[in-house]
Chain A
Amino acid sequence: MSRIDRRFAELKAAGRTGLVPFVTAGDPSPAHTVALMHALVEAGADLIELGVPFSDPMADGPVIQHASERALARNVGLADVLRWVAEFRQSDAQTPIVLMGYLNPIEIHGYARFAAEAVQAGVDGVLLVDCPLEESSVLQPLREAGLQQILLAAPTTAPARMVQLCRSARGFLYYVSFAGITGAARLSTADIAARVAEVRAQSQAPVAVGFGVRDAASAKAIAGFADAVVIGSALVERLAGAEDVGDIATRAQGFLAPIRKALDA
């Protein structure tokens, strides 16, 4: 059983909603990404989505794009990200890690080479925003190496396609809660609830809901009908500008702990 599958099985057994924070690797500080990851776990993260910086993050909003730009300005590359995951794994063997990003850095690194190095480092899955199911044949070496490809589903996804996505989902299915970029503030909870219920009924994998979750209240609203809640832009925004490791950990704690509390209440 993969680390991701095991974690969702544990959550289900405990009757808890998973908390999945997203941070961009290398932001706010390349020196403290590993410390930040540990702080997230301490604050209640069940799984970490680690963003691989990319120069042209088409599907992300300004907050995550700027985080990407800041990391790139400090020369953060795929090799650094893998090194940090390996370092994190030295003291945390349980928390699943999903690398989230775009295809080109992996394409240029080489799919087979990336697959071997990522597994070696302790990565569990990849969520490649610009690689829909139809183009996923290039990821075969990743699947063979044991990495799970996390798929996205959206409110605009047609019913026939949703069936296909639900059938192909591994690890968890990431439901994008509205048709927009990351970080935009629009969310109709009732609408998401109805749609996610449909998806959960079909999907063999657990369903995580993200895009637009900003705080304890919006997370709690989703907790009632999702297996996990993903929080990205709001967290990245909170961390931006922190340089000191203590400050980074405090901000991560201060942001995530109330959400964890709300989810468990």
Chain B
Amino acid sequence: MSKTDFNAYPDEHGRFGAYGGSYVAETLMAPLAELTEAYLRLREDPEFLAELDRDLTYYVGRPSPVYHAERLSRHVGGARIALKREDLNHTGAHKINNTIGQALVAKRMGKPRIIAETGAGQHGVASATVAARFGLKCVVYMGAVDIERQKINVYRMKLLGAEVVPVTSGSRTLKDALNEAMRDWVTNVADTFYIIGTVAGPHPYPLMVRDFNAIVGREARVQVREQFGRLPDVITACVGGGSNAIGLFHAFLNDEGVRIVGAEAAGEGIATGHHAASLSAGRPGVLHGNRTYVLCDDNGQITETHSVSAGLDYPGVGPEHAFLKDAGRAEYVGVTDEEALEAFHLLARTEGILAALESSHAVAQAIKLAREYPKDGLVLCNLSGRGDKDVHTIAAREGVQV
């Protein structure tokens, strides 16, 4: 049997094997076709890529370092743990890699208005940031529940000049914000560019968002080789929609010796039903424009999810992850709220790094993996964002008055 070339996906219809595609209303087919055509051209355009590179270097602050977390590794007592420090990017997370890219596409397509959906607010902030940077009008849709959970980020977006629209339908979280943003786009396609924040949605979004985040893995692969003289044994990242994870994973997909593990939000435990682990506990279905693993009931209704981290609180997942799971190239496991919080504290105390609650799921998984390998083993973990935004959530959960 010939080896799978994971760089060959998606195909021209945006399909990753059985997943992906464009499951959208007829009114979106033309704008998606326009976007696909523009993006496929731009991704090969040296001028566009040079402009993107300049902004990633001088505005975002790339490359982000790979940091050998020696005290954490020693504390755990297993393999060496290295962290890809996406938390050090401008705005504090990997999200800006994508929003810079899409804003440049919007500019090239002559769209003066951008819209975005956001869960934790990180993608909203990253969108508002690049809108200010490029002089674009910006509207961010955010679930009313998430607005309550992430007040600081809401204010941050407003400071950056964006309009934040609360979404009060459905479960009032990320998926409802996505529905609302999609509606805005259908209605205002002529002057509006929709910046999707994760590797989900209809083609070409899973491809485009992956491309813009893939710099994480490309850099890390080189950096790890320089520092450790070898590739990692295993790489891990948290998976909500899955953009930081695919960003790290993609450069390693064809490295057969590198094991790949995605950490999903198991919330209060998968058995309790209060979780957001679409790949571990869901089934193939169709949501938000693509076929992928979804969390739904036997009537096909999408179920409400739970995670301590708003950014992982999503009932679907990017179609490329669904494909990698079925192909056996990546494993997806659940990390509970408790485990993530424990990892958050451990990293804070051993390394002086406050990780985002999302990223803390990856750190928890890295710790588990480190215990499976010998001391000279190497675990690479994507530290996708910083935890400043979560300080209030953590304090409230632990009964601390700030």
Contact = CB atoms under 8 A, between A and B. Distances in A.
Q: Answer yes or no: do A and B interact.
A: yes
A140 to B, nearest CB: 15
A105 B183 CA distance: 21
Interface stretch (B149-157, B286-294, B385-393): B286-294
A105 B13 contact: no
Interface stretch (A43-51, A152-160, A217-225): A152-160
Interface in A37-77: 53-59, 61-62, 65-66, 69, 72, 77
A108 interface: yes
Nearest to A106: B300
Interface in B283-320: 283-289, 294, 296, 298-303
B30 interface: yes
A111 B207 CA distance: 28
Contact of B23 (A65, A130, A179): A130
Among A53, A56, A61, A184, which residue has the most Cβ atoms of chain B within 10 A? A56
A56 B300 CA distance: 10
B160 interface: no
B22 interface: yes
Contacts of A55: 170, 296, 301-303
B23 A103 contact: yes
A227 B27 CA distance: 21
B64 interface: no
B187 A130 contact: no
A158 B175 CA distance: 29
A58 B183 contact: yes
A129 B287 CA distance: 12
Contacts of B286: 102-104, 107, 130
B35 to A, nearest CB: 13
Interface in A119-156: 129-132, 134-135, 151-154, 156
13 contacts: A55-B170, A58-B288, A78-B300, A104-B294, A104-B300, A106-B300, A107-B300, A108-B296, A132-B23, A134-B22, A156-B26, A156-B189, A179-B27
Interface of A: 53-59, 61-62, 65-66, 69, 72, 77-79, 102-109, 129-132, 134-135, 151-154, 156-158, 161, 176, 179-181, 184
